[in-house]
Structure 1
Amino acid sequence: MKERITIFHTNDLHSHFENWPRIHQFLEQERNMLRHDGEDVFLFDIGDHADRSHPLTEGSAGKRNVDLLNEAEYDAVTIGNNEGITFSYDELNEMYRDADFEVILANLFTTEGNRPDWACPYLIKTTKSGIKIGITAVTAEYPVFYEKLGWHITSAKDELKAQVRAMKDKVDIIVLLSHLGIREDEWVAEECPDIDVIMGGHTHHVLENGRLHNQVLLAAAGKFGMYTGKVEIEFDHVSREVSGKTATLYETSELPEAEDLNEQWLQEGKQLLSNEITVLDQPILHNPLQASSPLSMLLAEAILDWCEADLSIVTGGLLLHPLEAGPVTEYDLHKILPHPINPCLVELTGSELKEVIRESRHQNWPTTVIRGLGFRGTILGEFIYKGLEERDHQFYINGKAVRAEQIYKIATVDMFTFGFFFPEMQRAKKQYFMPEFLRDILKDKLSHTAR
């Protein structure tokens, strides 16, 4: 006798709630139909469901994302880097307290070496006919950021192998929820052939009909809720092994329309962020392509003071809107700085600093469209320097000429240290400020500045 087990999966929603009503409705209808026919159905999320660029996620510290997962009756989820390193230690510790589902995560520990009490390294689900399905999960390693927040992230590959060893004699099927990315998933398929299915995320890859890699089925549903994934596993009760497995994606835009709740969610987020920061007598204007833009200069000054640096470097594109005259709320600051981007203090020699300045003056940079790296805007914008002067082709900091071998402290944003922009910053000694985002730095500046 052969039996079919159906697993629906989502990944990397990034709080794109505009797609959620259709996804929820689709999952509910499909699950009810399959269960009516006596089939076992499971539902998993592979991480980065919560993204603080949405006011509802920001205002609720991710708890409203958990509510939505509860309402959709998810069986289990894992976390992505957005849950793991954009929320504070306490926020992540509290996020899943009211979850009606299991959080599976094998490679996250406290600094004392304990697993968080809201997560388990693996889970075993048993179908009505007695088939045992072992599910484990791992998330991408960002050790510097996790350690800064008070967590200890371990090798995903080592933890994964340990969990597979622990499960394989107890279960009939092994499923991995992987927020590692497609290349890592391929490695896992080669190194852990006991795994039957890998449902992946993180690199936002789309596998329309899945892909067999070393006989392991890889499945992934892109990003932003554009797709919902379905995996069907056929199990042979006579041979006691998996006899078939397939993957399918459903495009959200082609699903039946559902009640649009996005304006309601936006207003709820706005209310949660209604705390007043200051009152402006006049607007603070902004042009992302103007080096003298008042709001850009204010941000550059704020990050300079926060990091206690010699100079600061930001870009105009980080700020999405000006600030209007009148009350300024947390929502207003979130609207102009939605990015999960942290300030960073980088140490460079005078020679390295000059090279960074030279590279930043590439004529195409200001209008370059940026994707990823935590950036939630559109164009990079003009580079803004605070604390740096240029006279007669010579740079000055605090009135003194920049010397080639002297070490300078530069306040900037974390995305400039990841290697895409400035190799000098990637190699440099640096200090990340966490969990504060740029909007927190600007909030502090405005709350102490009379206008």
Structure 2
Amino acid sequence: MNLEVIHIYHINDLHSHFEHWPRIQHFLAERRKWHRDAGEECFLFDIGDHADRSHPLTEATHGKGNVELLNEAGFHAVTIGNNEGITFPFDDLDHLYDQRQFDVLLANLFYKDGQRPGWLKDHAIYETKQGVKIGLTGLTANYTHLYDLLGWQTQDPFEALKEQVTLLKGKTDILILLSHLGIHDDERIGQEFPDIDVVIGGHTHHILHEGKMAENTLLTCAGKYGMYVGHIRLTVDTAGRIVEKKAWLYDTNDLPPIDDEEEKVNQLYNCGKDILSATVVSSQSNEISKEDLAILLCKAIQDWCQADCAFMNEGLILESLPSGKITKYDLLKLCPHPINPAVVELSGAELREVLVQTMDEKWKNLQIFGLGFRGKIMGKIVYSGIDVKKENDYYRFSIHGSFIDSEKIYKLAIPDMFTFGRFFPSIFRAKTKHYYLPEFLRHLLEWRLGETEKQTVH
């Protein structure tokens, strides 16, 4: 029997961690040549969150530097993650892939009028030399409300997948999903969609060293930050049926470093740094400490959102602000998070409960991961519009001089990470939440510093 071997290499959730990108690109180039010389098919796929605005190159080029890197590496198709989808303003995402040399596959994103962007395909069909037809589609996590605020419309990914399977089933021999949904949804897809042969995953940063079978569907994922490159080998018979599925990961620490690797990585960083050299404040008279910056930002969050009060964690500020000229790069370094301001409406009783919880000493050194946070520890909580007095073991809180009224509804401004995490149950359960997009916290800090400079000048 004449069998065909198809090789797929994949990465996911790079988050602009380019530390190993030069060796990853070199490895993929070698593998493509190796398989081509052997007469075997080879495809390269990225499963989203390649771009992360915490890196100067991504921030400075609005993600187009990432697209250029994917072009240079010869990727065939990508899907988008939430870092592409909901951290870039509408126009930035709509033009992110203008210079792409690959397919962007995503079945559940649309303009508000229901049309698909011209840079996006709901599916693609690739045909091998022996005539095997591979159908691919992509899905991304369905943050409906946030996409809506940015000007996009999304569809439930499972409904979108049903439509794509119906479209592709009779036209293809193999069905592959590029899924930026996370391991739990991938497992559900394996159980509910027997026609899907392979789900290449991302979003939850899981590591499947040899893949995982969910019914008859092979699930794969390669962790995060370019720590691994995934490899899938499909062996197909003359009728286009898969007779063997294999998956494994390559640890990029074990790949041989290339010449001038550190220099190439630094070039990517410095390229972005140079573009971000635009001055935000022309003359900062004194250095501002991290604690004072946190207080300044907290007040800015309250004012921007026109809220009654605000709090935030000091760990969102990673560095002090030096004296002298302040640039966009300086602000990126000290506040790199893709976190937006948000407002929750709480009763006075709920607000008091939350504020008591913020008094806990655990926050100061609590390590946290995810939720857009790019620091290491939470840091102590700072406040704006909130006064705290402790009498024995009892806290008394007042908002602008008046004690909290248990029945009154208050607007509390916070970093949006507190609405997603379960740090404060009353905030997590709040029925009324308002998100302010596309501004990040560093943009509010830039706004406040600019306002302060204007007042100083005048």
Counterpart residue number, 2:265: 262
Q: CA deviation at 1:128?
A: 1.1
Q: Give the match for residue 299 of structure 1.
A: 297
Pairing 1:389–2:391 present: no
Of residues 110-119 and 248-257 in structure 1, the stretch that sits farther from structure 2 once superposed is 110-119
Name 2:241's counterpart in structure 1: 241
Instruction: Report the CA distance between 1:427 and its aligned residue.
Output: 2.1
Equivalent residue in structure 2 for 1:447, among 428, 450, 456 = 450
CA distance in 2, matches of 1:401, 1:9: 56
What TM-score does the superposition give when structure 2 sets the normalisation length?
Answer: 0.95
**Which one-letter code corresponds to 1:247 in the other structure?**
A
Aligned AA (1:394):
R
In the other structure, the counterpart of 1:282 is: 286
> CA–CA distance in 2 between the matches of 1:21 and 1:103?
23
Superposition map of 1:121-132 within 5 A: 121-132=122-133
2:321 partner SS:
coil
Partner in structure 1 of residue 375 of structure 2: 377
Counterpart amino acid of residue 320 in structure 1 = L
Comparing 322-331 and 423-432, the one that deviates more: 423-432
What is the match of residue 83 of structure 1? 84
Q: Which position in structure 2 is the counterpart of 1:435?
A: 438
Distance 2:323 2:367 in 1: 29
Aligned equivalents of 2:80, 2:96: Cα separation in 1: 11
1:420 aligned partner: 422
Distance 2:421 2:292 in 1: 29
1:20 and 1:240 map into 2 onto residues whose CA distance is: 34
State the SS of the aligned residue for 1:231. strand
Q: Determine if contact 2:174/2:240 at 8 Å carries over to the other structure.
A: no
Once residues 201 and 387 of structure 2 are traced to their aligned partners in structure 1, the CA distance between those partners, rounded to angstroms, is 48
Supply the distance in 1 between the matched residues of 2:158 and 2:15 (Cα, whole angstroms): 25
In structure 2, the partner of 1:289 is none
Deviates most, 385-394 or 307-316: 385-394
Alignment match, 1:95: 96
Deviations 1:85-119 (A, max 9, x none): 00111100000010000000000011111111111
What is the CA deviation profile of residues 251-301 of structure 1, one whole-angstrom value per residue up to 9, with x for unaligned ones?
000001022312111111111111101120111112xxxxxx211111111
2:399 and 2:355 map into 1 onto residues whose CA distance is 13
Q: Map residues 128-207 of structure 1 onto 2, 5 A cutoff.
A: 128-207=129-208
Residues 6-31 of structure 1 show CA distances to partners (whole Å, capped at 9, x for unaligned) of 11111010100001111101000011
**Structure 1 residue aligned with 2:413:** 411
- The RMSD of aligned alpha carbons is 1.0
Partner of 2:253: 253
Are 1:110 and 2:111 counterparts?
yes
Q: Which amino acid aligns with 1:17?
A: F
* 8 Å Cα contact 2:25-2:73 kept in structure 1: yes
1:24-35 alignment runs, 5 A limit? 24-35=25-36
Aligned to 1:290: none
2:361 corresponds in structure 1 to 363
Whether the 8 Å CA contact 1:178–1:200 is kept in 2: the answer is yes
Q: State percent identity of aligned pairs.
A: 49
Give the counterpart letter for 2:248 in structure 1: T
Gaps of 5+ in 1: 287-292
- Contact in 2 for aligned 1:419/1:425 (Cα 8 Å): no
Q: Quick check: 1:272 aligned with 2:275?
A: yes
TM-score (norm: length of structure 1): 0.97
CA shift at 1:390, angstroms? 2.6
Q: Kindly state the Cα deviation for residue 240 of structure 1 after the two structures are TM-superposed.
A: 3.3
Stretches (4+) displaced over 4 A: none
Rounded Cα–Cα distance in structure 2 between residues aligned with 1:295 and 1:180? 36
Deviations 1:320-342 (A, max 9, x none): 00000000000000000000000
Question: How far apart, CA to CA, are the structure 2 residues paired with 1:213 and 1:386?
Answer: 50
Give the distance between the partners of 1:23 and 1:135, measured in 2 at CA.
23
For residues 20-75 of structure 1, the C-alpha deviation after alignment (integer angstroms, 9 at most, x for no partner) is: 11110100001111101111111100000001111110111100000000000000
Q: Is the 8 A contact 2:78 2:105 kept in 1?
A: yes
SS of the residue aligned with 2:365?
coil
8 A Cα contact 2:51 2:63, kept in partner: yes
2-structure distance, mates of 1:72, 1:194 = 30
Q: Which amino acid aligns with 1:248?
A: W
Give the secondary-structure state (helix, strand or coil) at the position aligned to 2:98. Answer: coil
Could you tell me how far 1:405 is from its partner in structure 2?
0.6
How do residues 324-335 of structure 1 correspond to structure 2 at under 5 angstroms?
Answer: 324-335=322-333
Give the distance between the partners of 2:23 and 2:267, measured in 1 at CA: 16
Cα separation, 2, equivalents of 1:160 and 1:78: 14
Give 1:364 shift: 1.1
